[in-house]
Chains A and B, each alone.
Chain A
Amino acid sequence: MSAITIIGQGPAALLAASFIQEVQQDCVIVADSEGSLPLWSGSFDFHAPSDDISNPWSLLDRQPLMLPAETWAFLWESLVGFERAAGIPVAADIPSHNWWTITCTGKSKSVFVVPQWQYVQKTFLPVWFIGFQGLADSMADFQCHTYQQQTGVDAGFHVLPNPTPWTPSWGPIRWASYMDTDEGLSWLLSEIQKVAPEIPKTWPILLPQVIGRRRAEHNLQALTTALGQMVFEYPLVTPSLGGMRIRDRWVWYLKKQGVPFLTGRAISVEKGWVTLADGRQWHSDHVIVATGGILGGGLEVMVDGRLRDPLRDTVVGRMPPGRAIDLYSWGQPADYGTPEMTACGSQCGGWDPNQDGNGGAMILATVWQSLCRTGIFSNLGSCNSERSVTHVGK
């Protein structure tokens, strides 16, 4: 079997697999359900959304794991590189300042790595919101009002009526499937054209993030060309098309690179041996536990280093070296004598991405720490450097 087994297929697992592919090592992914990407709006968050951060590097010492700036730069660059290789349209430059995106409630949220289908701006500018009558999360009137109040900048809105095939059961995914059809795109274009005379030509038009699942960029480009003004999306709440597009493309990219995606629930992980509930078993030089923890009870790492399966309430393994550990220090080389097993992603201690809005930082930092333990980055100095793992805790 492969040298490295990754348990989980959420963003942490996909990032770990991408790094492993990059250094031409074999890995296998095994998971018993989807990861949480379809719930994401699509941005890799680095800090609480309300902060106005002009310099992203000032964020870094707020994270539970402090890495040197050059390591962060490397991780950021790698993330952007993987996303672009997978066909996710993100800007090539590492961000030197934050951007503002506008949420479906009209609030501005600072972001860094965001796909280009989503509207971002450096300073607050006038925009035109468009909502769809039959899409619950697009509340253009409220959105417009909040945006104007919070930024003091001018804005306008329109709410488009429903297309003929619409039924009350339509959620964001259904809307996006409709936009993937030629009929959906021409309906949208003709409805916007009806109200276009009222929209100032220099203002970007912002649509809810349902403008196609496969054809989003194509559709936005077609609208931009036909209307002669910029058209983007604003993110909605979950389930989120932004995260789904990223998931679909990233998984497909890894499959094309030859990464197997096995289906199964790991019920035992001991000394490199992974055993699945269906009886399959194999040995790997290293096991990366990327089992999440928000939805559905993934494997949990307990304070004494045991791995617990909450569904069965059984202990399925133990993190080496089998002594009590500080969960905040997850994955740190200093704490691990053997490179058999590490953990990454939202099940690592010390991180609370839902409260702190740092899911992206968490994934980058913990995957990095995990992979350093496999030895595959041995040629990269910062893996070995003591200061790379200064633990600041909370």
Chain B
Amino acid sequence: MWENDDACIKCSICISVCPVYGQDLEFPGPKALGPDWFRAYQANPLTVPSEHVDDCTFCQLCEASCPVHVPIAHLIAQHKSLKKKTWRINLRDRILAHPHWVARYPRLANAPNFLVRPLGFGTQSRWPRPQRRVAPLSSSPQADTRQIVGLFVDCYSRGFDQDVLSAAQALLELWGFSVRLLPHASHCCGAAAYAAGQPEEGQRIAHSTYDAMTPGLTDLSQIVTLNATCDSTLREEWPLYWNLSLPVPVLSFSEFALDKAPAWFWDAMHKGMTARQEQGETTSWIHTTCRSRVSRGDGILEQLADKAGLAAIQPLNLACCGAGGSYAFKEEHEKTAHALGAAALEQVTETHDRIIVDSGTCALHLTQITGALAKHPAYWLYQRFLSLTQRSGDIASQEK
């Protein structure tokens, strides 16, 4: 099916990094669900899928660890697709595999428990609150690069993290870029469907998003993303698994900022802090999400925070926080999702600390677990810029 799909040498290194395997004693682990299952299935297509296969978060940490590059998580996604489900779980998973539907009508996330519980939605995990569009807040650009960047508006940012979206847009414009929001209407990169074991549906969703995006790409210099999962899906999975190749390079907001934000901006981030502001500085906890780690690595958010002059930067010792896109919203996964995230409590003890994290659903999950506000780096960068340059308004105050 794919390169190296039958290459497993049974070293078990993948098991040693799987966060769910370490938490859930019934979860068979990446080797059993990926390469072992694949070999059994090749020999006998009637092999019964594991009843636990859906408990995999699709974090892909197993795949990134494998010394012989077995596409473990993608084999597991294939395995998931063969599992039979009840109609109500099917319906729920179909809804969650299409987060762009929900983002179009974000108030759906406010549905009362008595309506969602029978469908198998969890009630322990906090659901996101809809946010109305916040107008970009920057004043006129302070540099002019004449370059147009596409800002990929993932479904979560569109429906529930408008403050992050606005902050990112404001910063990009401040740095002299023209920003085009992509795609125009609510679409999805296909990651949610892939993670839920619906690879074909993921591919269909991805193709439709690609079609919606491509007319507006020719004059772009870059596509900038705000969510680690969408970032690696667009850049890596689209060409590798779905035969879709964007004609423009895709980069996370954080890496783009490190590379492209002008020197005056970084200067401004280090100047003008009043004694009171300095005193009020809190610890900046960094959570590089699993998908970001798998795709690009650890330490990039720390570099960004450091360059932005944030104080007391500390990584969180979390392999995967358990949010897993829509994983934590499923009743059967809530326990594992919360146990995985609870490891953050060993470090984050002050609710006024900030958590910097490159995914909206992980931010929501970590905020619920720790009580400290977790947000995308664009949000924190813009907050700091506003406070240091004495600009009026606080983006948080404009949330609805």
CB of A373 closer than 8 Å to a CB of B: no
Q: Which of A31-87 contact B (CB under 8 A)?
A: 32-34, 36, 38-39
State how many angstroms separate the Cβ of B382 from the closest Cβ of chain A.
Answer: 24
State how many angstroms separate the Cβ of B63 from the closest Cβ of chain A.
Answer: 9
| Contact between B15 and A169, CB atoms less than 8 A apart | no
| Contact between A260 and B25, CB atoms less than 8 A apart | no
| Contact between B296 and A263, CB atoms less than 8 A apart | yes
| Contact between B25 and A178, CB atoms less than 8 A apart | yes
CB of B277 closer than 8 Å to a CB of A: no
Known contacts: A33-B65, A263-B294, A295-B67. The answer to whether A38 contacts B299 by CB under 8 A is: no
The docked-state distance in angstroms from the alpha carbon of A239 to that of B29 is 14
What 10 A-B pairs have minimum CB-CB distances, sorted nearest first? A260-B299, A296-B67, A262-B297, A295-B67, A239-B12, A263-B297, A34-B65, A38-B16, A261-B298, A296-B68
CB of B192 closer than 8 Å to a CB of A: no
A-B contact pairs, 17 of them (CB 8 A): A34-B17, A34-B65, A38-B12, A165-B25, A169-B28, A173-B16, A177-B25, A178-B25, A252-B317, A259-B299, A260-B302, A262-B298, A264-B296, A295-B11, A295-B13, A296-B66, A296-B67
| Contact between A38 and B13, CB atoms less than 8 A apart | yes
The docked-state distance in angstroms from the alpha carbon of A260 to that of B21 is 26
The docked-state distance in angstroms from the alpha carbon of A261 to that of B69 is 18
Q: Which of B234-254 contact A (CB under 8 A)?
A: 235-236, 249
| Contact between B32 and A260, CB atoms less than 8 A apart | no
CB of A152 closer than 8 Å to a CB of B: no
| Contact between B66 and A173, CB atoms less than 8 A apart | no
CB-nearest residue of chain A to B298? A261
Q: Which of B309-358 contact A (CB under 8 A)?
A: 314-315, 317
The docked-state distance in angstroms from the alpha carbon of A311 to that of B68 is 9
State how many angstroms separate the Cβ of A293 from the closest Cβ of chain B.
Answer: 11
CB of B283 closer than 8 Å to a CB of A: no
CB of B273 closer than 8 Å to a CB of A: no
CB of A244 closer than 8 Å to a CB of B: yes
Q: Which residues of A contact B13 (CB under 8 A)?
A: 33-34, 38-39, 239, 295
State how many angstroms separate the Cβ of A231 from the closest Cβ of chain B.
Answer: 23
State how many angstroms separate the Cβ of A299 from the closest Cβ of chain B.
Answer: 13
| Contact between B299 and A258, CB atoms less than 8 A apart | yes
Q: Which residues of A contact B314 (CB under 8 A)?
A: 256
CB-nearest residue of chain B to A292? B67
Identify 8 new A-B residue pairs, CB closer than 8 A, beyond the known A34-B16, A295-B68: A33-B64, A34-B17, A239-B12, A239-B13, A260-B300, A262-B298, A263-B293, A264-B297
CB of B208 closer than 8 Å to a CB of A: no
The DSSP consensus for interface residues of chain A is: loop
Contact with B along A257-293 (1 / 0, CB 8 A): 0111111100000000000001100000000000000
Known contacts: A165-B25, A213-B22. The answer to whether A30 contacts B68 by CB under 8 A is: no
CB of B214 closer than 8 Å to a CB of A: no
CB of B387 closer than 8 Å to a CB of A: no
Q: Which of A239-264 contact B (CB under 8 A)?
A: 239, 244, 247, 252, 255-256, 258-264
Q: Which residues of A contact B236 (CB under 8 A)?
A: 278
| Contact between A171 and B25, CB atoms less than 8 A apart | no
Q: Which of B286-304 contact A (CB under 8 A)?
A: 293-300, 302-303
CB of A391 closer than 8 Å to a CB of B: no
CB of A145 closer than 8 Å to a CB of B: no
- Tell which of A174, A238, A244, A260 touches B298, judged by Cβ atoms closer than 8 Å: A260
Q: Which residues of B contact A262 (CB under 8 A)?
A: 296-300
Q: Which residues of B contact A165 (CB under 8 A)?
A: 25-26
CB-nearest residue of chain A to B302? A258
State how many angstroms separate the Cβ of A347 from the closest Cβ of chain B.
Answer: 13
CB-nearest residue of chain A to B22? A177
| Contact between B297 and A295, CB atoms less than 8 A apart | no
| Contact between B9 and A295, CB atoms less than 8 A apart | yes
| Contact between B21 and A177, CB atoms less than 8 A apart | yes
Which residues of chain B have a CB within 8 Å of any CB of chain A?
Answer: 9, 11-13, 15-17, 21-23, 25-26, 28-29, 32, 64-69, 235-236, 249, 293-300, 302-303, 314-315, 317
Q: Which residues of B contact A255 (CB under 8 A)?
A: 298-299, 315
State how many angstroms separate the Cβ of B231 from the closest Cβ of chain A.
Answer: 12
CB-nearest residue of chain A to B235? A278
| Contact between B302 and A33, CB atoms less than 8 A apart | no
The docked-state distance in angstroms from the alpha carbon of A263 to that of B17 is 15
State how many angstroms separate the Cβ of A102 from the closest Cβ of chain B.
Answer: 23
CB of A28 closer than 8 Å to a CB of B: yes
The docked-state distance in angstroms from the alpha carbon of A36 to that of B314 is 27
Q: Which residues of B contact A296 (CB under 8 A)?
A: 66-69
Q: Which residues of B contact A177 (CB under 8 A)?
A: 21-23, 25
Known contacts: A34-B13, A252-B317, A255-B315. The answer to whether A263 contacts B295 by CB under 8 A is: yes
Q: Which residues of A contact B298 (CB under 8 A)?
A: 255, 260-262
State how many angstroms separate the Cβ of B312 from the closest Cβ of chain A.
Answer: 12
The docked-state distance in angstroms from the alpha carbon of A259 to that of B29 is 29
| Contact between B11 and A39, CB atoms less than 8 A apart | yes
Q: Which residues of A contact B67 (CB under 8 A)?
A: 33-34, 36, 295-296
State how many angstroms separate the Cβ of B287 from the closest Cβ of chain A.
Answer: 12
| Contact between A171 and B12, CB atoms less than 8 A apart | yes
Contact with B along A176-214 (1 / 0, CB 8 A): 011010000000000000000000000000000000010
CB-nearest residue of chain A to B23? A177
The docked-state distance in angstroms from the alpha carbon of A30 to that of B67 is 14
| Contact between A261 and B17, CB atoms less than 8 A apart | no
Q: Which residues of B contact A169 (CB under 8 A)?
A: 28, 32
The docked-state distance in angstroms from the alpha carbon of A63 to that of B315 is 39
The docked-state distance in angstroms from the alpha carbon of A178 to that of B296 is 32
The docked-state distance in angstroms from the alpha carbon of A161 to that of B315 is 41
Q: Which residues of B contact A278 (CB under 8 A)?
A: 235-236, 296
The docked-state distance in angstroms from the alpha carbon of A138 to that of B209 is 54
Q: Which residues of B contact A28 (CB under 8 A)?
A: 299
| Contact between A260 and B303, CB atoms less than 8 A apart | yes
Known contacts: A238-B12, A239-B12. The answer to whether A261 contacts B25 by CB under 8 A is: no
Contact with B along A361-382 (1 / 0, CB 8 A): 0000000000000000000000
State how many angstroms separate the Cβ of B295 from the closest Cβ of chain A.
Answer: 7
Which residue of A32, A180, A258, A260 has the most chain B CB atoms within 10 A of its CB atom? A260
State how many angstroms separate the Cβ of B193 from the closest Cβ of chain A.
Answer: 24
Contact with B along A160-175 (1 / 0, CB 8 A): 0000010001010110
State how many angstroms separate the Cβ of A289 from the closest Cβ of chain B.
Answer: 16
The docked-state distance in angstroms from the alpha carbon of A173 to that of B18 is 10
State how many angstroms separate the Cβ of A321 from the closest Cβ of chain B.
Answer: 31
